[in-house]
Structure 1
Amino acid sequence: MSAASVPGPEAVSSWVADAVLAPSMHNAQPWLFRYDRIQGVLTLLLDASRTMPRTDPAARGLHVGCGAALFNLRVAAAAAGWEARVSVRPAGFAPELLAAVTFAPATGDAAGDGLAELHPAIARRHTSRAPFSERPVPGELLDRLRQAALAEGGALDVADDWRGHTLTDLAWDAEQEEKLSPEALEEIAHWTSERARDAPEGIPAYARGPRRHGGRALVREFPGAEAAGGAGEGADPGTAVFEWSPCLAVLGTRRDEPADWVRAGQAMERVLLRATLDGLSTSLNSQALEHPDLRWLLRDPLSGAAYPQMLIRLGYGPEAPATPRRPVSEVLVVD
């Protein structure tokens, strides 16, 4: 294979730098990349050191995060004039290998898939844990987000007011179960305690947002962090009133195998980047999804997506802070 037909290590490194800006459960950043510069093959692997046996025992949530990173990679390559050709969980390989990616100069067909136009949103997209305004999200924007999910094999079901109440109640039930589990609290504290302030992963106090004392928005309060004394002096974000009529959506897939979790992450990230370009703030909530008995109840019985993979909150809010990221040198190996 000629050198001209494969991207160089510098290009791939820059694409991985965009990939790692994806969201992941508790900002654990569960991805590793390996690039074979001769064959031009980039592999995406699950970093087993970042699994969460209590709250994510099957690593479903971490697969979703890796899928989001994979989508960012595709967008970055497209913006540079390359088409990323992805094989999700290739047969015959170890289970930690989530995808193999090859690259080719983009043709007219590849240029029409809308990926490159999403590139400016990668650096701008941040999970917002602040209150949003009560301004409704226009229907035409929601339709674009539904199409974004569909383009990646997912389905985005936007909840009506009645369904929204059900979703918030399920998240509240999950929160109560969480508070009664010392193991879950310890795992959460590992990723959200104040030691993460200077670490390249986890959710530091400045990014957690205020606690809710009014409203019905889905807002995770990370009780394990407080239990560990993680707030720190002067770090308490206080309380706030959130939306009473939040715009909530469930992202789902038709099947529920590990490959579907990776695809769900790609669909989720396409929705988030599209929302960012359209001026929306977003936040993610997987709390109820971490409990099998509650996860099934998240499903809209009228939806074609049988398996919920993520709860997404959409709206208009203040600019959110960025959370830390591991350097590319730590997650990418070039052979």
Structure 2
Amino acid sequence: MNRRTLLIGAGTLIAAGTGVAAWRGATGSMADYEAYSARLRAALTPDIADVIRYATLAPNSHNTQPWRFRVTSDAIEVLPDFARRTPVVDPDDHHVFVSLGCAAANLAIAASASGRPGELVLTADGAEVRYTFTTNQPRTEPLLEAITKRQSTRAEYDGRAISTADVTRLQTAGAAPGVNLVIVTARAEMATIGELVVAGNSAQMADPAFMRELKQWVRFNPRSAMETGDGLFSAASGNPSLPTALGRIAFDYVVSAGSENDKYARQIASSAGIAVFVGDQADPLHWIKVGQACQRFALEATRLGLKLAFINQPVEIADLRPELARLIGTTKRPDLVLRFGYGPTLPYAPRRPVAEVLGS
């Protein structure tokens, strides 16, 4: 579920003679994007389409949104959309199934709050996630409001530590059968995990196939982000908006492993802690469970005023997984790594309309 920040020096790349009006026409307006984003995150209504909208606000790798939802009179199924997989960074579809788990966690909260209490049922092979429900009075869900506020904040945080009580709340929120959560707040251990992040980032950025896949999902301006409703919106990483053609050139010439590695080192040093999620087994069923646990952790963190960002390079590069596992005291495959702390609010990522994710 990694969102790469793009260091784009807009000032040095603006073509001579480009007018302000032409520039804005090519990139769109952040004011329009903010209005679009506010509609995506509007308050929940009883309409079942709104329950799906809340489900789609879950995190997912490269913001490909690899899910579909099928609604019946008493159930909502969460299905994988393999047309939106990322085969280079995620060759075994691990992130696809984790994303389904994150969406399912949102779905259960929003459905209950809309007057559809029920339970999530997973098939043994993880091929299907079904939320079965009845109709009743809306329930108060403490994590509901956090669904619209949670974001992957890829910025430096302020370095403040969090209280022991809040660490306990996070540990409780992320607890789930079949999933182990390790929270690291010691600076030396965080720095060691950071070294693995940098090593993984270096390996990925040296892979032309990875860079091509990443570039495919970057949205360099508000217009592109709103038109596609998906992808990695540059402004959500604190970067300037560029016309798409210029952004693609900038990507090739400006993004470097050295600058990105320095950025990751600073960001991890500014964080309050790192969370690592580990499923009991490496299969789709447990990846979905990991996603559910991670999303409840993320929502509780958001409720506590914390920001989060995925730093999944040590789990995406298979050769680094054993070392990460050793560092956190497990022999199993680590599934997700994210940092957390107190930081700024950046523009939110785009989402596709509900109509586009409904159906088989």
Q: Normalised by the shorter chain, which TM-score bucket? A: 0.7 to 0.9
For the pair 1:102 / 2:132, whether they are aligned, the reply is yes
Hey, what does 1:203 align to over in structure 2? 232
Hey, what does 1:296 align to over in structure 2? 322
**Can you give the 5+ residue segments of structure 2 that lack an aligned partner in the other structure?**
1-44, 253-259
TM-score under structure 2 normalisation? 0.75
For residues 81 and 94 of structure 2, the distance between their equivalents in structure 1, rounded to whole angstroms, comes to: 13
**Can you give the 5+ residue segments of structure 1 that lack an aligned partner in the other structure?**
1-8, 212-224, 233-237
Cα deviation, 1:18-38, whole Å, max 9, x if unaligned, reads: 00001100111011001123x
Secondary structure (helix, strand or coil) at the match of 1:120 reads: helix
| Alignment equivalent of 2:193, drawn from 167, 179, 183 | 167
1:135-150 aligned within 5 A: 135-150=160-175
Change (3 A) 1:300 1:15: farther
Letter in 1 for 2:216: H
| Alignment equivalent of 1:257, drawn from 283, 307, 318 | 283
Report which of the two has the higher share of helix. Answer: 2
Do the aligned residues in 1 keep the contact of 2:279 with 2:286 (CA within 8 Å)? yes
- The sequence identity of aligned pairs, in percent, is 29
Letter in 2 for 1:26: H
Letter in 1 for 2:107: L
Cα deviation, 1:169-188, whole Å, max 9, x if unaligned, reads: 11111111112211111011
For the pair 1:117 / 2:128, whether they are aligned, the reply is no
Q: How far does residue 227 in structure 1 lie from its aligned partner after superposition? A: 9.0
Hey, what does 1:28 align to over in structure 2? 64
Change (3 A) 1:207 1:22: same
Q: How far does residue 101 in structure 1 lie from its aligned partner after superposition? A: 1.8
Hey, what does 2:158 align to over in structure 1? 133
Q: How far does residue 151 in structure 1 lie from its aligned partner after superposition? A: 3.8
For residues 89 and 234 of structure 2, the distance between their equivalents in structure 1, rounded to whole angstroms, comes to: 20
Q: How far does residue 308 in structure 1 lie from its aligned partner after superposition? A: 1.4
Letter in 1 for 2:108: R
Do the aligned residues in 1 keep the contact of 2:191 with 2:269 (CA within 8 Å)? no
Secondary structure (helix, strand or coil) at the match of 1:18 reads: helix
Do the aligned residues in 1 keep the contact of 2:183 with 2:275 (CA within 8 Å)? yes
Do the aligned residues in 2 keep the contact of 1:148 with 1:271 (CA within 8 Å)? yes
| Alignment equivalent of 1:47, drawn from 69, 81, 95 | 81
Change (3 A) 1:120 1:76: same
Letter in 1 for 2:234: A
TM-score under structure 1 normalisation? 0.80
For residues 131 and 149 of structure 2, the distance between their equivalents in structure 1, rounded to whole angstroms, comes to: 25
For residues 313 and 305 of structure 1, the distance between their equivalents in structure 2, rounded to whole angstroms, comes to: 22
Letter in 1 for 2:249: G
Q: Could you say what the CA RMSD is over the residues aligned between the two structures, in angstroms?
A: 3.0
Secondary structure (helix, strand or coil) at the match of 2:231 reads: coil
Change (3 A) 1:182 1:170: same
Letter in 1 for 2:133: F
Hey, what does 1:220 align to over in structure 2? none
For residues 266 and 226 of structure 1, the distance between their equivalents in structure 2, rounded to whole angstroms, comes to: 38
Cα deviation, 1:110-153, whole Å, max 9, x if unaligned, reads: 97xxx811000000111101110011111111111111111464
| Alignment equivalent of 2:112, drawn from 53, 61, 78 | 78
